[in-house]
Chains A and B, each alone.
Chain A
């Protein structure tokens, strides 16, 4: 049985589906993705692995609608990306992004960085932001600036930022790539706790096989293709 949820998306369909996604650079000379077929169920934790340059980041960017594919299709809960009339709104409501390089704004303090994705909504989200920062263990550093934080702490702030608009999907591109193993362990544990408590779907790019093994499913890529 299919029925529509409050947001108008069909349930019981995969949260993300792609078909023959291709993406190339330099006028087709570099093929980042060569026909990627993917299916991710609601609440699933998928790890994406593969050698450097095989197209992992490219895939995440396509899923986050940061980029348009050369060919192929993407669906979110059965709705094709091309049919969405407001892609910025989709990104804001459904996608949370975490990067290897954190990408915090140096001029803003921790709280304001977390609030950044909520600025366009005009809503008062400070309480919610504090709440999230408490959950990532950063509530005592609200007024500090990114330069005053360690790498692990910065990533925790970035995670809080990714969650401020209560997304359905968290796309994390090597979130522990710049962290030492202790911080990395902490961040991972945090991510998995949050995922479970918030019912998130998570796609995580990682080079670490130990981490990948904790996922519900592993996807291995090579030369722009999913090979396993």
Chain B
């Protein structure tokens, strides 16, 4: 017979009420888990894309709060970048989110500088690459092929132009797997943005150290006004969608925590007032007040922890379901790290403690004499 066993007996004693409380906590935790995993997955997917491209530094227009960086004239910036020490290659990129099918959700369309290192990390699954910078063709990611039901030999309409699909590629980055890719020249023509890019990717040579990187960053910042020079990691963490997704996961965590704690609080308060006599007895047979408080908090933590565990499972399911939705396909890649799951369990413990504290104090204030006299 231990305190935990007693707590568990008490939780099981009111199955319906406990189940409801656990469900409320579980729903909150599930939302936290799914949303956070998605937010992190989204971030890490972008990060992977950048890592895979072997990009060290990125130049964009000073970001407004918009989700994709504004286009700028490549010629205004490239010469300065090429002058910097250790810069091996500068590759232009123009990206847009466009609807490429009648009914489907918009997809990423990328234009990458032909012959640049950006293409090297892609793996061709089928067909071929564009033969020249001028060829009006696209290659599409494996996921895009699935969602658009297109294969090599099919055509896609992009902004009123028809592009034959000549190849299907696979990338380590989910964002790219769901994207359509053409040469930068073609993309500029299609979008009527000649000479424009919205990202310049810089690859440094192997001898460049982190201080070199920081130095280049500083140099370029001083000389280029109205532009951002970021390491690829910084770019990802500044991405508006990543930021919003993270902010939303934080807000959800806060709300779920509050609601969960309130539910637990309410349940425990009811339970304490129902069990006044038993609590009086525990005090009468020599339990300290602190022990009684521990019992009540153990019960509330037990409730919250069970809810947390179930919530993690539900969060897994929810994130996987969302991942499967056609609308979200290729845009999210939920990430569940063991540390995160541990933190969520930690959150449920905190939530249980917070919810159980006042009821526990209330229980400890029980007068055993009064409680045992009561009918």
Q: Does A touch B (CB under 8 Å) in the complex?
A: yes
Judge whether B367 and A88 touch: CB under 8 Å: no
CB pair A97–B1 under 8 Å, yes or no, is no
Once the chains are docked, how many angstroms separate the CA of A93 from the CA of B278?
Answer: 20
Please report which residues of chain A, range 150-171, place their CB below 8 angstroms from some CB of chain B when the two chains form the complex.
161-162, 165
Please name all residues of chain B whose beta carbon is closer than 8 Å to the beta carbon of A86 when the two chains form the complex. Answer: 288
Q: Which residues of A contact B9 (CB under 8 A)?
A: 107-108
Give the distance in Å from the alpha carbon of A120 to the alpha carbon of B1 in the complex: 10
Shortest Cβ gap from B257 to chain A (Å) = 30
- For residue B286, CB closer than 8 A to chain A, the reply is yes
Q: How far, in angstroms, from A92 to B283 measured CA to CA in the complex?
A: 9
Q: Is B369 an interface residue, CB under 8 A from the partner?
A: yes
Check B1 against A91 for contact (C-beta < 8 Å). Answer: no
Measured between beta carbons, the chain B residues less than 8 angstroms from A57 are: 373
Question: Using Cβ atoms and an 8 Å threshold, which residues of chain A touch B281?
Answer: 103, 105
CA distance A218 to B281 in the complex (A): 28
- Given the complex of chains A and B, what is the CA–CA distance between A81 and B281 in angstroms? 20
Of all chain B residues, which has the CB nearest A25? B370
Q: Quick one: CB contact mask for B267-293 with A, threshold 8 Å, 1 for yes?
A: 000000000011001111111110100
Among residues 113 to 153 in chain A, which have CB atoms less than 8 Å away from a CB atom of chain B?
115-120, 126
Give the nearest-CB partner of B278 in chain A.
Answer: A105
B368 at the A interface (CB under 8 A): yes
Interface size on B, residues (CB 8 A): 26
CA separation between A112 and B278, bound complex, in Å?
14
B149 within 8 A of A: no
Q: Is B373 within 8 A of A120, CB to CB?
A: no
B13 contacts the other chain (CB 8 A)? yes
The listed residue with most B CB atoms (<10 A of its CB), out of A89, A119, A162, is A119
Cross-chain contact B285 with A107 (CB below 8 angstroms): no
Given A108-B9, A112-B1, A119-B6, are A92 and B369 also a contact pair (CB < 8 Å)?
Answer: no
Once bound together, how far apart are the Cα atoms of A130 and B283, in whole Å? Answer: 23
CB distance from B373 to the nearest CB of A (A): 7
- With contacts A88-B286, A116-B1, A161-B285 taken as known, whether A103 is within 8 angstroms of B277 at the C-beta atoms is yes
Tell me, yes or no, whether A195 is within 8 Å of chain B by CB: no
Contacts of B288 in A (CB 8 A): 86, 88-89, 120
Residue in contact with A88 in the complex, picked from B2, B3, B10, B289, CB distance below 8 Å: B289
Residue on A with the closest CB to B295? A119
Q: Quick one: given A105-B278, A107-B9, are A92 and B368 in contact (CB under 8 Å)?
A: no
Kindly name the residue among A61, A108, A120 whose own CB sees the greatest number of chain B CB atoms within 10 A: A120
A67 within 8 Å of B by Cβ? yes
* Chain B at the A interface: SS class: helix
Whole-angstrom distance from the CB of A126 to the nearest CB of chain B?
Answer: 8
Check A88–B287 contact: CB distance below 8 A: yes
Question: When chains A and B are docked, how far (Å) is the Cα of A61 from the Cα of B374?
Answer: 14
Q: Which residues of chain A have C-beta atoms less than 8 A from B369's C-beta?
A: 61, 66-67
Smallest Cβ distance from A67 to chain B, in angstroms?
4
Q: How far is the CA of A119 from the CA of B277 in the complex (A)?
A: 18
- CB of B372 within 8 A of chain A? yes
- What CA separation (Å) do A166 and B364 show in the bound complex? 25
Q: Which residue of B lies closest to A111 (CB)?
A: B1
Bound complex: CA of A97 vs CA of B286, how far in Å?
10
Most chain A Cβ neighbours within 10 Å, of B12, B277, B281, B285 = B285
Partner of A97, one of B278, B285, B287, B373: B285
A99 at the interface (CB under 8 A from B): yes
A47 at the interface (CB under 8 A from B): no
Which residues from A are CB-within-8-Å of B287? Answer: 88, 92, 117, 119-120
Are B3 and A119 closer than 8 Å at their CB atoms? yes
CB distance from B284 to the nearest CB of A (A): 6
Q: A108 vs B285: C-alpha distance in the bound complex, in angstroms?
A: 16
Is residue A64 contacting chain B, with contact meaning CB distance below 8 A?
Answer: yes
Contact between B286 and A67 (Cβ–Cβ < 8 Å)?
A: no
Contact of A120 among B12, B284, B286, B367 (CB under 8 A): B286
- Report whether B6 and A108 are in contact in the complex, using a CB–CB cutoff of 8 Å: yes
Given contacts A67-B367, A92-B286, A165-B286, contact A119 B2 (CB under 8 A): yes
Chain B residues, CB < 8 A from A103: 277-278, 281, 372
Which residues on the A side are within 8 Å of B282 (C-beta)? 116
- Tell me whether A99 and B372 are in contact in the complex, defined as CB-CB below 8 angstroms, given that A64-B284, A115-B1, A119-B3 are known contacts: yes
Which residues on A sit within 8 Å (CB–CB) of B289? 88
Give Cα A112–Cα B367 distance, bound, in whole angstroms: 24
Docked pose: A111 CA to B9 CA in angstroms: 14
Query: Do A91 and B284 touch (CB < 8 A)?
Result: yes
Closest 9 CB pairs of A and B: A92-B286, A117-B285, A67-B369, A115-B1, A66-B369, A88-B288, A91-B286, A107-B9, A66-B368
With A66-B372, A91-B286, A119-B291 given, name 17 new contacts (CB 8 A).
A66-B367, A67-B369, A88-B287, A89-B286, A92-B285, A93-B286, A103-B372, A105-B281, A108-B1, A108-B6, A108-B9, A112-B6, A116-B6, A116-B282, A118-B1, A119-B287, A120-B286
A and B contact pairs by CB, cutoff 8 A, 11 listed = A64-B284, A89-B286, A91-B284, A91-B286, A97-B284, A105-B281, A108-B1, A112-B6, A117-B287, A119-B3, A162-B285
A positions within 8 Å CB-CB of B: 57, 61, 64, 66-67, 86, 88-89, 91-93, 95, 97, 99, 103, 105, 107-108, 111-112, 115-120, 126, 161-162, 165
